[in-house]
Structures are given as structure tokens and as C-alpha cells.
Amino acid sequence: MPPILARYSSTRDQKSNDGSGTAHVFLNVYDLTPVNNYLYWFGLGVFHSGIEVHGIEYGYGAHVYSSSGVFEVEPKSCPGFIYRRSIRLGTTDMSRSKFRLFLEHLSGKSHGNTYHLVSKNCSHFTDDVCARLTGKPIPG
């Protein structure tokens, strides 16, 4: 059985179709600290990122369990972070249902207790998803 993604919000629109057709892929960027307002202008900062596809945002975070650290939220509203901006990364032809299966498979490799601030974090997760969907990495 594939891992279950944690859901932090249930108010998003539920669509009855499978979401087939082209979907935009966005990188949603969040500030971890208000100090980013000053550091951002120097190309610095501490950020969280999530990937938005088919109207749902997916992120990766740490917890102490050996289950998936991948979660879903309403776009641009990840709890605990300050939304900064969205960057359009491209498109995917993957249907909503196929994308869901793809993400559940990927989430099985992204356990909360394997999160590492430097070597396996939210940006590594979003970069991996983006590369698999669009063939390109997220911006630096």
C-alpha cells in the first residue's frame, strides 16, 4: 500500500474529473524568518519551498517518525511560514490521478526522520519533483 500524504487543509476545491490535460508547475517560496526582508536584497535568506501542481501544493518536512514527511496544503498557505512568491517552472502533461500516484511513490522515499537541513530538505524535494515533471531544476 502506498504511503499516505499528510493533509494540512481540507478546504481546497474537490474536482470530480481526473485532472487530465496540461497542468502548470509552480515553486512556492516562503520566508522562514522576517530577517529575509533584508537579506533577500543581497541574494541571501532562509527559505521553505513547496511545489504546486493541479491546484495543490506539496512540501516536505521533518518529524521523528519513519513515515512520509511529504504533505499537502492549499497553495501559498503553508502553515508556519511567510509566503514570499511563486515561480512558474513549466508544465506537465501528467493527469491529476497519475501525478498523485507518482507523488505517493516519491513520498515513500522522503521520510520525516530522514529530513536533513543541509543534505535532504524541502528544496531538494521540490527540485526532484520539478526535474521529473519538467526536465529542469528549480532556480537557485
Catalytic residues: 48, 122
| Per-residue DSSP letter, 68 | B
H-assigned helices in the chain: 36-39, 96-107, 122-134
Angle of CA points 133, 123, 60, to nearest 5°? 85
Residue 6 near residue 71, CB atoms below 8 Å: yes
Q: What is the grid cell recorded at 67?
A: 513515515
Q: Within a 13 Å sphere around the CA of 47, how many CA atoms are in the beta-carbon half?
A: 21
